[in-house]
Structure 1
Amino acid sequence: MIRRLYDWTLSLAHHPKALWALALVAFIESSVFPIPPDLLMIPMIIATPRRAFVIAGVATVASVLGGLLGYAIGMFAFEGIGQPILESLGKSDSMEDFNARFNGVGFWAVLIAGLTPFPYKVITIMSGWTAMPLGTFLVTSIIARALRFFIIATLLWKFGEPIRDFIEKRLGLMFTLFCIVLVGGFLMVRYL
């Protein structure tokens, strides 16, 4: 099933309404869809490099708006389903502790999930579930998604087809390593 979704997503890159398809994929990927919009962006940018930054902009805006949907899912589904279950088990105090810890590092969680292959939808839903301040969530989502999509667009615009293999195979790893170094640097500054 995942392979069919992957192939369907790639086929949208050549559709006359590809920009709208990208917006839809980026939107739903941020809350429920398993295939990242990068797979649609890459062939679109390779086909029309002069539109690379428009394509990245559409992906960013749609992804952040979809993230807001994920936030709402977390906020409203938890209230109706999760919280009553935890209360019946006597675990509502544990959730308050978890929420405080998650929101204490929420900026980093959203930033890292927005940049790396970690499913962004997990963090969008958790952010709503833990009642992360909406402003923090929104600003961090904009930064993370814009960095991710505009870096990909810039690399493809500058280097074209040869960079495609690198992006498809290694960019997630590079973003992950970058985030580890970034967080490690902040921890060193804080504790040394």
Structure 2
Amino acid sequence: MFRAMYDWVLRMSHHRHAMRTLAAVSFAESSFFPIPPDAMLVPMVLARRDQAYRIAAVCTVASILGGIFGYAIGYFLWDSVGQGLVRLYHMESKIETLRHGYDQYGAAIILLKGLTPIPFKLVTLASGFFAFNFPLFVILATITRAARFFIIAALLKRFGEPVQAFIEKRLNLFAWIFLALLVGGFALIALI
């Protein structure tokens, strides 16, 4: 299953709509979609290392725009949309704890959680809901998302061939680790 998906993404990385698809996934992940863009970013950079930084830039810009959309959902549509997303991720009991965290450590929360497998949409929705300083939110989101995607792109560009061989040899293991990190991110949020 994972091999077919990996091969499909590698083939799609050369498709004329590859960048648009990556942008759509990056945008959606920052506002409402549960799958991180790394699932497309890594295979795309491995397939097109000569365009690693362009791919990272598309991923970053789309993620920031999606983050702004997520912020708007939290700020303007909390009652009609935001609460539904919080219920979907079983975060109802964590909102007040998160509010106190935002009051004291909002900037650090945005910077740290933007680098982790914890879904960024939870940060963007909470930032809007708690009316975190919007210009500061955009600056912090830009720093953390650019760091995450450009570090991945730089490492894959530099060490791509051996990394690709290593990943392809152990694809199922990496896919399960990726899924475990994704589930672990949601579980960590539930514990906070």
Compared CA separation, residues 75 and 36, structure 1 to 2 (3 A)? same
- 2:137 corresponds in structure 1 to 137
SS of alignment partner, residue 115 of structure 1:
coil
In structure 1, C-alpha distance between the alignment counterparts of 2:17 and 2:106, rounded to whole Å: 36
Kept in 2: contact 1:13–1:41 (CA 8 A) = no
SS of alignment partner, residue 160 of structure 1:
helix
Mapping of residues 1-192 of structure 1, within 5 Å: 10=9, 12-78=12-78, 99=99, 101-164=101-164, 165=167, 169=177
Segments ≥4 residues shifted beyond 4 Å: 79-83, 95-98
Q: Deviations over 1:80-105 (max 9, x none)?
A: 6889xxxxxxxxxxx89964541321
Task: State the TM-score, normalized to the length of structure 2.
Answer: 0.70
The alignment of Structure 1 onto Structure 2 pairs a total of residues equal to: 156
Question: Gaps spanning 5+ residues in structure 1: where?
Answer: 84-94, 174-192
Q: Deviations over 1:14-34 (max 9, x none)?
A: 432101111111011101111
In structure 1, C-alpha distance between the alignment counterparts of 2:75 and 2:107, rounded to whole Å: 17
Kept in 1: contact 2:82–2:125 (CA 8 A) = no
Q: Kindly, what percent of the aligned residue pairs are identical?
A: 44
- What RMSD, in angstroms, separates the aligned Cα atoms of the two structures? 3.0
Question: Gaps spanning 5+ residues in structure 2: where?
Answer: 84-94, 182-192
Identify the range of structure 1 (57-66 vs 100-109) with the bigger mean alpha-carbon deviation. Answer: 100-109
Kept in 2: contact 1:12–1:21 (CA 8 A) = no
SS of alignment partner, residue 105 of structure 1:
helix
Compared CA separation, residues 96 and 42, structure 1 to 2 (3 A)? closer
Bigger RCO of structures 1 and 2 (CA < 8 A, at least 6 apart) = 2
